[in-house]
Structure 1
């Protein structure tokens, strides 16, 4: 029980730290294979692809989420011009399920790297990564 509580606290701290860094940068590297980014526009997305050379994108922000200014189809159109694949794995904020973690781990293990994950602030994407890592599901 104590070990599980400690893991939960560490995951929360990692998400908080990542969220704080998101306000200052376009994307934040969680490891050498994966970065996360928050609120996206078409222009910001195109620039990230050009500057940072991502080979795969996982979009965790649902298209219909309040405040979303760009849809996954718009991102996909931009990415396809650079021959970058886009996976749409919408996660409702605060509602990550075990099946979401397993699905993400499958993508992480199989997609070309580096990968960019996108949500509103970077927090839910970071949490998804941290939970999969804590469960030993990622091949690094």
Structure 2
């Protein structure tokens, strides 16, 4: 999306070190735990991110429940976290919707 943010599908703990090597400094996960079988938990991803020296933020939401509060929380973390940021969900669609909602509300 920009030099400071990439939107992507599900990432896995093993990818965190590579993301760090690629220059990412933060990860924002918007996928709720236990959506599908074999999905890594937020806690597992957080641990892997920390081991790779990445900041990690968990803002779970399902697309039917995107609220103004969730958008504001994302914008707050976006401004606070070191860039570039990897923003992800299951397919990338929900992450993109969240980003676009923040832009349309003038929060980014």
21, 25, 32: which one pairs with 1:62?
32
Give, in whole Å, the separation in 2 of the partners of 1:40 and 1:108.
Answer: 19
112, 123, 128: which one pairs with 2:98?
128
Kindly report structure 1 stretches of 4+ aligned residues shifted beyond 4 Å.
none
CA 1:81–1:44 in 2, change beyond 3 Å: closer, same or farther? closer
When the two structures are superposed, what TM-score results if normalisation uses the length of structure 2? 0.89
User: Could you tell me how far 1:68 is from its partner in structure 2?
Assistant: 5.1
Question: Relative contact order: is structure 1 or structure 2 higher (C-alpha 8 Å, sep ≥ 6)?
Answer: 2
Give, in whole Å, the separation in 2 of the partners of 1:115 and 1:68.
Answer: 24
Could you tell me which runs of 5 or more consecutive residues in structure 2 were left unpaired when the two chains were aligned.
Answer: none
Equivalent residues, number: 108
Structure 1 partner of 2:17: 46
User: In the TM superposition, what whole-angstrom CA distance separates every residue of 1:8-35 from its partner, at most 9, and x where no partner exists?
Assistant: xxxxxxxxxxxxxxxxxxxxxx111101
Q: Tell me the SS of whatever aligns to 1:94.
A: helix
